[in-house]
Chains A and B, each alone.
Chain A
Amino acid sequence: MSFLKSLYPYFLGVVVLSADVSVCALASEESVSAGTTLAQRIYDRENGRDASSRGVMVLEEKGRPSRERKLYTYRLDKSKGEIWSLVRFVSPADISGVGLLTLDHPGDNSDQWLYLPELDKSRRISSDRKGGKFVGSDIYFEDMQDREPSMDWHNLMGHQTFQDQPCEVLESTPRKADNSVYSKRIGCVHLPSLIPLWVDFYRDGKKEPSKRMVVNRFDKVSGIWTVLESTMSDLEKGTQTRLRIEKVVYNVNLQESLFSRQALEDQTVEKAFRP
Chain B
Amino acid sequence: MVLAEWVRAVLRACSFSMVILSAPVLAVDMTGLSQSDGQVMTRHLVLKGFSTKEQAERAVTVLKDAFAAQWRYQYAESSGSAEMHHEVRADTERGGYLVDVSIITPSAPVEEGDSSAIPVVSVDQALTETPAKEASGQEVFPAESEAQVRADALRGEGKEVELKVVRVLVPDDHTVKKRFVRRTDAARALTVLKEAWAEQWQYQAPDATEDEREALERLGSFSIQEDKEQGGYLLIARGINIKTNYRVRWWTAVAEQAPPEEPPAGAVIDALIEGADEKPSAFRLNGRVKGELGWPAANGQGDGGVHYANLYAAFAWQPAPWLEMHVAGRVDGNWQQNVRWNEVNSLPGEVFMRWRGEKNRLTVGRQSVIWGSLDAVPLNDRLSRVDLRRVMMDDLQDRRLAVPMVRWEQFMGGLKLDAVLQPEFKSALLPALDSYWSPIDQKNGLAMGMEVNPLVSALVSKGTFGDDGGGWGGAGIRLSQAGEGLDWALTVQRFRPSTPYYELNPAVRSTLLATGNPQLALSSASGDAFIGRHPLGWAVGGDLGMPLGPATLRMEAVYLTDVPVTTNDLRLDSVQGVDWGAGIEWNPGDAEARLIAQIVRRQLLNAEHVLNSVAVTHLNGSYQDEFFNGRWRMSLAYAIGLEQRDFYWKPELTYLAHEPHQLYLAAHLFTGKPGTMGGYYEKKDLLTMGWRMRF
Report the minimal beta-carbon distance from B379 to chain A, rounded to whole angstroms: 14
Contact B414 A132 (CB under 8 A): no
Contact B660 A92 (CB under 8 A): yes
- Given the complex, which residues of A lie within 8 Å of B278, measured CB to CB? 54, 274
Known contacts: A119-B396, A228-B272. The answer to whether A111 contacts B585 by CB under 8 A is no
Which of B286, B318, B396 meets A93, CB within 8 Å? B286
Contact B318 A249 (CB under 8 A): no
Contact B657 A64 (CB under 8 A): yes
- Given the complex, which residues of A lie within 8 Å of B280, measured CB to CB? 271, 274
Is the CB of A89 closer than 8 A to any CB of chain B? no
Contact B273 A246 (CB under 8 A): yes
Query: CB-defined interface of A57-89 with B at 8 Å, one 1/0 digit per residue?
Result: 001010011010000000000000000000000
Query: CB-defined interface of B473-505 with A at 8 Å, one 1/0 digit per residue?
Result: 000000000111101000000000000000000
Is the CB of A103 closer than 8 A to any CB of chain B? yes
Q: List 7 A-B contacts (CB under 8 A).
A: A93-B660, A166-B199, A221-B272, A261-B411, A266-B361, A268-B318, A271-B280
Known contacts: A118-B397, A192-B202. The answer to whether A252 contacts B411 by CB under 8 A is no
Contact B264 A252 (CB under 8 A): yes
Is the CB of B277 closer than 8 A to any CB of chain A? yes
Query: CB-defined interface of B198-238 with A at 8 Å, one 1/0 digit per residue?
Result: 01001100110110000000000000000000000000000
Interface centre among B195, B270, B273 (most CB of A within 10 A): B270
Size class of the B contact interface (CB-based, 8 Å): 35 or more
Q: How far is the CA of A223 from the CA of B369 in the complex (A)?
A: 46
The chain B residues found within 8 Å of chain A, CB to CB, are 195, 199, 202-203, 206-207, 209-210, 263-273, 276-278, 280, 286, 318, 321, 324, 356, 359, 361, 368-370, 373, 395-397, 411, 414, 416, 482-485, 487, 545-552, 554, 585-587, 589-592, 626, 629-631, 657-660, 662, 693-695
The chain A residues found within 8 Å of chain B, CB to CB, are 54, 59, 61, 64-65, 67, 92-94, 96, 103, 105, 109, 111, 113, 118-133, 136, 166, 181, 192-193, 217, 219-223, 228, 237, 239, 245-253, 260-262, 266, 268, 271-272, 274-275
Contact A247 B361 (CB under 8 A): no
Which of B482, B485, B694 meets A122, CB within 8 Å? B482
- Given the complex, which residues of A lie within 8 Å of B695, measured CB to CB? 93
Contact A132 B629 (CB under 8 A): no
- Given the complex, which residues of A lie within 8 Å of B370, measured CB to CB? 119-121
Contact A252 B266 (CB under 8 A): yes
Q: How far is the CA of A109 from the CA of B324 in the complex (A)?
A: 37
- Given the complex, which residues of B lie within 8 Å of A245, measured CB to CB? 272
Which of A103, A126, A271 meets B585, CB within 8 Å? A126
Contact B545 A124 (CB under 8 A): yes
Among residues of B, the one whose C-beta sits closest to the C-beta of A101 is: B482
Report the minimal beta-carbon distance from A269 to chain B, rounded to whole angstroms: 8
Among residues of B, the one whose C-beta sits closest to the C-beta of A127 is: B547
Q: How far is the CA of A131 from the CA of B586 in the complex (A)?
A: 12
Which of B270, B397, B545, B658 meets A249, CB within 8 Å? B270
Q: How far is the CA of A239 from the CA of B592 in the complex (A)?
A: 15
Known contacts: A222-B270, A247-B271, A250-B268. The answer to whether A268 contacts B592 by CB under 8 A is no
Q: How far is the CA of A119 from the CA of B374 in the complex (A)?
A: 12
Q: How far is the CA of A239 from the CA of B657 in the complex (A)?
A: 13
Contact A129 B546 (CB under 8 A): no
Interface centre among B550, B629, B631 (most CB of A within 10 A): B629
Known contacts: A131-B591, A133-B592, A253-B265. The answer to whether A246 contacts B660 by CB under 8 A is no
Contact A246 B414 (CB under 8 A): no
Known contacts: A119-B396, A266-B361. The answer to whether A126 contacts B547 by CB under 8 A is yes
Report the minimal beta-carbon distance from A54 to chain B, rounded to whole angstroms: 7
Contact A124 B547 (CB under 8 A): yes
- Given the complex, which residues of A lie within 8 Å of B554, measured CB to CB? 123-124
Q: How far is the CA of A113 from the CA of B487 in the complex (A)?
A: 10
Report the minimal beta-carbon distance from A57 to chain B, rounded to whole angstroms: 12
- Given the complex, which residues of A lie within 8 Å of B207, measured CB to CB? 220
Among residues of A, the one whose C-beta sits closest to the C-beta of B481 is: A261
Report the minimal beta-carbon distance from A177 to chain B, rounded to whole angstroms: 13
Q: How far is the CA of A59 from the CA of B656 in the complex (A)?
A: 13
Contact A252 B267 (CB under 8 A): yes
Which of B359, B369, B591 meets A132, CB within 8 Å? B591
Q: How far is the CA of A68 from the CA of B475 in the complex (A)?
A: 43
- Given the complex, which residues of A lie within 8 Å of B587, measured CB to CB? 126, 129, 131-132
Among residues of A, the one whose C-beta sits closest to the C-beta of B552 is: A126
Contact A94 B547 (CB under 8 A): no
Which of B265, B273, B483, B552 meets A247, CB within 8 Å? B273
Among residues of A, the one whose C-beta sits closest to the C-beta of B658 is: A65
The 4 closest A-B pairs by CB, nearest first: A131-B590, A93-B694, A192-B202, A252-B267
Report the minimal beta-carbon distance from B121 to chain A, rounded to whole angstroms: 28
Q: How far is the CA of A261 from the CA of B409 in the complex (A)?
A: 12
Q: How far is the CA of A275 from the CA of B626 in the complex (A)?
A: 34
Contact B626 A129 (CB under 8 A): no
Q: How far is the CA of A105 from the CA of B694 in the complex (A)?
A: 36
- Given the complex, which residues of A lie within 8 Å of B662, measured CB to CB? 94
Known: A94-B693, A268-B324. 14 other contacts (CB 8 A): A64-B631, A109-B485, A111-B547, A118-B397, A125-B585, A126-B547, A132-B587, A132-B591, A136-B626, A222-B268, A246-B276, A253-B266, A262-B416, A274-B280
Among residues of B, the one whose C-beta sits closest to the C-beta of A54 is: B278
Known contacts: A93-B660, A96-B286. The answer to whether A249 contacts B547 by CB under 8 A is no
Among residues of B, the one whose C-beta sits closest to the C-beta of A91 is: B660
Contact A126 B550 (CB under 8 A): yes
Known contacts: A120-B368, A120-B370. The answer to whether A247 contacts B267 by CB under 8 A is no
Contact B267 A249 (CB under 8 A): yes
- Given the complex, which residues of A lie within 8 Å of B629, measured CB to CB? 61, 237, 239
- Given the complex, which residues of B lie within 8 Å of A217, measured CB to CB? 210
Among residues of A, the one whose C-beta sits closest to the C-beta of B62 is: A192
Report the minimal beta-carbon distance from A248 to chain B, rounded to whole angstroms: 7
- Given the complex, which residues of B lie within 8 Å of A64, measured CB to CB? 631, 657
Contact B487 A124 (CB under 8 A): yes
- Given the complex, which residues of B lie within 8 Å of A222, measured CB to CB? 268-270
Among residues of B, the one whose C-beta sits closest to the C-beta of A61 is: B629
- Given the complex, which residues of B lie within 8 Å of A94, measured CB to CB? 659-660, 662, 693-694
Q: How far is the CA of A61 from the CA of B485 in the complex (A)?
A: 38
Q: How far is the CA of A114 from the CA of B321 in the complex (A)?
A: 23
Q: How far is the CA of A64 from the CA of B655 in the complex (A)?
A: 14
